[in-house]
Structure formats: structure tokens, C-alpha cells
Structure 1
């Protein structure tokens, strides 16, 4: 594979993109800094196909990245390969307002052909290529210039190795026939809605107790206010106010600005500074959360009464067994929360639709309905279907007590 020198000129990038747009796929990775900012600062882009690879310096003076971004979001003929690419996709979305498409994430794909839940890149390389990668440059300052040869070599490795691994993963998927399982998952990763920083929905990420519309309305208003403050200042939202402090203010709103000095998590300066004034204005304008925005209630009353938690445990055991049997990550089949909802009576769940229903959901539903049981055969746990009509209440199998006579 040909490795190009660091690209810093528009004409070199245009020539590279002209070649890559003829490839069936490109592997993409980014290096960025976001510890002290709201918006991630893009510092390096790495890209490769089966024949060549390059690192691109987005901080280079005068570099026009239009052709590269067009390749990412405008070319439907080239598959874009990432590994755990959520943050990489977010960066491209921030630059263009669009997401790369079509997309393929090797971390997600590994869940369909192994029991790996969230395999890291170094473990992916070791398992497929048989060597360990050098992690020495992983935590360097990617914004500092000039970049060292070691940094560039480390960064390009992230896509050159991926270009060798992807065809092998694809071949395994075709052999197992599980490629179709990933279609929906990949479309979710490419959905722009997942990357929008919408202040109006920011409150949904904050853990808050209760369903009081007034409290949740204040939380929504405060979260939107914090999001805008963080965006305007380009600092992490937690540097404005932490989640737990925001939730506390929503539950116990101060009556006057000077009361902010008594709020745990805020400094004394909030009692008379401008940001404190803006917070109080936000509280005053907050309205109760409308009914159509209230979080959905979890189903109540498991079908087996107090033993509903035991049913959920049996479902988790079933999930573990099935995951092991077909060599698939359990998380790809069902989430723990959804198993508890199924035990509690919910039937509108991903595991009860499409391929998940065929592979796992049907058995899970039958277990809840008493049509599936567990047994031990030759020391191994097995599942067997049973006829609920033939089951006997254990209490009915106890022999009646003998009558004692003198």
C-alpha cells in the first residue's frame, strides 16, 4: 500500500479524492481535541482504500477540503468504513450538516459475527492481523504543529489496518448470511438526527426523578439555556453547570438570584453575575412540560406478579444461551432494559421485530408465556418447548397429609 506524505495543499487533496472516488470503499478516521471545547476541534483526517493511504491536515493554511467532504457526504457509490465511528461522523456532520452515507462500522459488524460487545481497535487488529499496535501516540496533542513522524505513522495505521480487515469481516458476514442484520444498525449510525445538538431536546439526556410536568418543564428550559451558553462560549456543557446541579435547580428552584450562592455546584459569584441573571430569567419563563413531551411510562405489573424480576432473570439467561449458541454479541439481540419491559408486559420492542424476532424474540416471548423451559442434559443447559395446558401447579403434586387416629 502506498503511504503519501502529510497532505497540506488543496491540489494534492483533490488528486487523492479523484482516485478514491473510484474505489468501492474508503476507511476513515479522525484525530481531534474536545477536552476544553463544546465543538470538537478537528486536527487530522486519515483515509485509505486497498491501494493508498494518506493523512490530511485540516489546520493547514489555505487547505480547501470541499472535495473530501463531497466524497464523504455526496458520493453514494463509495462505502465509508469506520471503527466505533460515532465521533468521526459527528465531526463530518458539524462541518457539512450531513452524515457520511453509505456507512459501515466494523465495531458494530463484529457484534454480528462474534460475542464481542464493543471491541476496541487494538483488539480488532490483534485478532484479525495477529500483531499489537503501538499506542504510544494515542494521547498526544493533535492540535500542536508540526506533527511528528511518529504521530502521522500512528494515525495512518488506523486506516491502513482497517483496509485489510474490512474485506475479511465482509467475507465472514456473507458466509454467515448476517449482513442483512446490520442494514438497520448502519442506517441508525448514518441518521443525521443522532448528531444534531438540539437545545430543545438536551434535557432528555439528564437523569431526573419523577414525572412532575412543572419540574420537567424547568429542566427542559434550563438544559436548553445551558446548551446555548456552552455553544456560544465553545466550552463543555459541564463547565457551565453539571447535570446533577441542573436537575436540583429544576426540582428546587431558587426564588431570587442571591439564592444561587446556596446551590451546591455553583460558586458564590452566581448570586450577582450575568450568567446567574440569565439562569433566573430562564426559570421565570419556564412552562410545564406538555403532555405530548412527557416521557413514556414503563409498563406496570409484571404478568407473574412479584416474580416478574425472576422472569427477567430467566430472559437474561436465555439471551446468554442464545448469544453463545450462534456466536453473536448479546447486546445486538436485546438490551437488558428491554428484557425487563418484556417481563413486565410490553410487546412493542425491537427484539420482537424482524430478524431479532426470528433469532431470539420468538423464544423470549414463549418463555414469558410459559411455552419454553430450561433443562439440564448431560451437564449442559438446554431449552425445551412445553405445553402450558399440561403443566401442573407444584402445590397440586403434594400428597395430602395422612389422617392420624388414636
Structure 2
């Protein structure tokens, strides 16, 4: 078993004075490891319950639900560029900080993404990464614990601590591997995406495409777009999941039927009388009225996915997928980090304005993918491995 740092008993932080002292003690660190525990089953925004932070000498459990703590005191630590904030699978943690503080921590490092760059596979879990780097098994039995209940049990505290203490020992090992492989710049480019607040915006356009896929009427599609935006804003305001407020099926039915009275709105599946007669029903009817006033030339064009001209060659797609796997074996990088299935299809269709043709991805896969599509490269088998031969 590889050695990892032993930490003292975790320090529980539940008041502002202790939090200020904790931050002051951590401002001398080169890096800290961080994680959060939260619940989100019945809310739009995650309800932050606990923040775990480990430095070189101490590990802390910050009670985010305490009535006597001001979490904004974390700001100096979160915004100190000289201190790397190490997370594993950071997206949800960072989304919480962005919503809570209005900014993202600076100098972040996501070990899940870094591990994909380093060749540990697609979206490797924390327990698997720790076992690979430290040869230690992490108990994940409390992964779905209710972190809003107080007091926290000893088992919950031990679980929470393990999420940052082993990470503290694993980070320098992973970092050194990336340095020796000259891949720190690859990770840095991925961290730029996580550091962009726009990355965490609600996927309105994606939802519109998903729900509007079968709508062939431009006016109904416009109405659906307005309804989706309205639902998102309403769900955020009252802090409930979007589907708890009004389901996708009901939005589609409203957009197709375009009811113009409370009585006709009531007949939509999933819409009850209280909703139709209340302020929300009135808002829906106003959206429909606005939609009906749009002139025909300004209506959106329905989404078309089964255009024969846009259907890629299945054989070429298969060849590109084989090449992706082979190149990722050579470079020891996770295929999902390099290109998605949609990327492969777009490459086969001739698209060249893709992220795959920039930065390190172009070196690993992009340039050879173009050559394969243009008949300048062929694939052969030699000694039971794939080889790429320039034509």
C-alpha cells in the first residue's frame, strides 16, 4: 500500500469566528482539497449542507447549515490564485459556490478530468482513483446519506473527511504524472471551461431542442421556447425542480394546442384547475397571446433531425470510432474526453469548425481524423495492433 498522509481528528466549524481562523490558517497552503455534501431532491438549487477542506496539517468540516456561520468568510481562500483548489468531479461543487457567492473559486483543479487526461479511463470515480494512486479502498457507503440532518453521525463525518484527506495525498502523484507526460497544459485548457460562469447556465437551448424535436409548427415551437424559459425562471424563483412545477409533457401539449382561455387550458393533461385559474395559468395564457401575435416570417424553423443529406456514412463513423479508440490507447487518454459520438458524426459529415480541431485534441485525434476522411490515411493491423499509414 502506498503511503498517504494521516490527519488529526477533523475540526468541526460551525461559527464565523472558527471559520475566520480556519481561512487564516489555510492561506499559507500551496493547495487545499475540497468537497461538498448537499441535498437536491426537492429544490431547484442544491442545498449546501457541508464543506470539507483539507490543508497540510488539518482537515475541516464546515457546517453550512449552522445559523451562526457566515460562509462569505471563505472568499479570501476561494479567490486566492496562489492556492490550488483541488476537487474530484468539481462541476456540482462549483455550481453551488457560484450560486452561493456569485463567483467561482480561482485556480481550480479537477482530479476526475485530470485522471481522464492521464489515462485512467472515462469519468473515473473517486474511490477507483484513490485505489489506483494510493492502493487504498475508500468506503462509499454513505454516498446517499441525508446530509441535512443534524447532528452528523461519526460515520458520516468519517466518510466526509475521506473525500478530501486521501485526495490530498493523491493530488501530487497525479500532478507529477501529468507533468512528466507534458500534459499539464491539456488539463489547464479543460479547467478554463469549468472556470467560465456561462458553463453553469441552465441548458435552455438543449431543452428546447429535446422537447421541440417532434413539433413541426413554427408558432408552436416559438410558444414552447417561451414556456421553457418561463418555467426555468419560475422554478428558480420558488426553488423547486422544473419538473415539479410543470412537466415536459404538459409544456408540449400547451404549445401544440395553444389554448386561449382558462377553460381550454384546464383540459391540457397535467394542468389542474387551480393552476389554470391562478397566476401561473394567466402567465401561460399571456405567453400564448404573445406567440399568436408573432408574424409568420419571424417564427422559428422546426428542428429537423432526419435529413438524409445530413446522415453520415455509418462505415466512416465506425472507422473514426476505431481510430479514436486506437489513438487514445497510444496517448493513454480517455476517449470521452477527446470526442463525443456527435463529434464523430459531424467529422464524418465534413464539419471542421469543431473543438476537436483545436489544441491538444487536434494533435491526439483531429488531424488524423481529417486525413482519414480525405483518403490520406489508412488503417492497418501489424503485430495485433492498429497502425496508421499515410497514403
TM-score, normalized by the shorter chain, greater than 0.5: yes
Q: 1:4 aligns with which of 10, 15, 35?
A: 10
Return the offset for 1:214. 2.8
> Per-residue CA shift, 1:51-77, capped at 9, x if unaligned?
2211011222221222213311x2111
- Uncovered stretches (5+) of structure 1, i.e. residues with no partner: 387-406
- What are the within-5 Å matches in structure 2 for residues 103-182 of structure 1? 103-182=108-187
Q: 1:76 aligns with which of 66, 81, 97?
A: 81
Aligned partners of 2:379 and 2:388 also within 8 Å = yes
What is the match of residue 400 of structure 1? none
Assess, with a 3 A threshold, how the Cα gap between structure 1 residues 284 and 247 changes in structure 2: closer, same or farther: same
Aligned partners of 1:110 and 1:119 also within 8 Å = yes
d(CA) in 2 for partners of 1:332 and 1:309? 22
d(CA) in 1 for partners of 2:220 and 2:68? 50
Return the offset for 1:301. 7.4
User: Which of 1 and 2 has higher RCO (CA within 8 Å, sep 6+)?
Assistant: 2
> Per-residue CA shift, 1:138-164, capped at 9, x if unaligned?
222111111112111111110111111
TM-score norm. by structure 2 comes to 0.89
Aligned partners of 1:81 and 1:104 also within 8 Å = yes
Assess, with a 3 A threshold, how the Cα gap between structure 1 residues 279 and 26 changes in structure 2: closer, same or farther: same
**Residue 54 (1) aligns with residue 60 (2):** yes
Aligned length: 380
- What are the within-5 Å matches in structure 2 for residues 31-42 of structure 1? 31-42=37-48
Aligned partners of 1:301 and 1:344 also within 8 Å = no
> Per-residue CA shift, 1:67-99, capped at 9, x if unaligned?
213311x21111111111111101111111111
Assess, with a 3 A threshold, how the Cα gap between structure 1 residues 307 and 166 changes in structure 2: closer, same or farther: closer
> Per-residue CA shift, 1:198-253, capped at 9, x if unaligned?
xxx62533412167543332122101211222123211111012234323432342
d(CA) in 1 for partners of 2:359 and 2:299? 28
What is the match of residue 64 of structure 1? 70
What is the match of residue 397 of structure 1? none
Return the offset for 1:294. 7.5
- Uncovered stretches (5+) of structure 2, i.e. residues with no partner: 1-6
Aligned partners of 1:31 and 1:44 also within 8 Å = yes
What is the match of residue 191 of structure 1? 196
d(CA) in 2 for partners of 1:194 and 1:79? 20
> Per-residue CA shift, 1:347-389, capped at 9, x if unaligned?
1011111221122111100000001112222343322111xxx
CA RMSD of aligned residues (A): 2.6
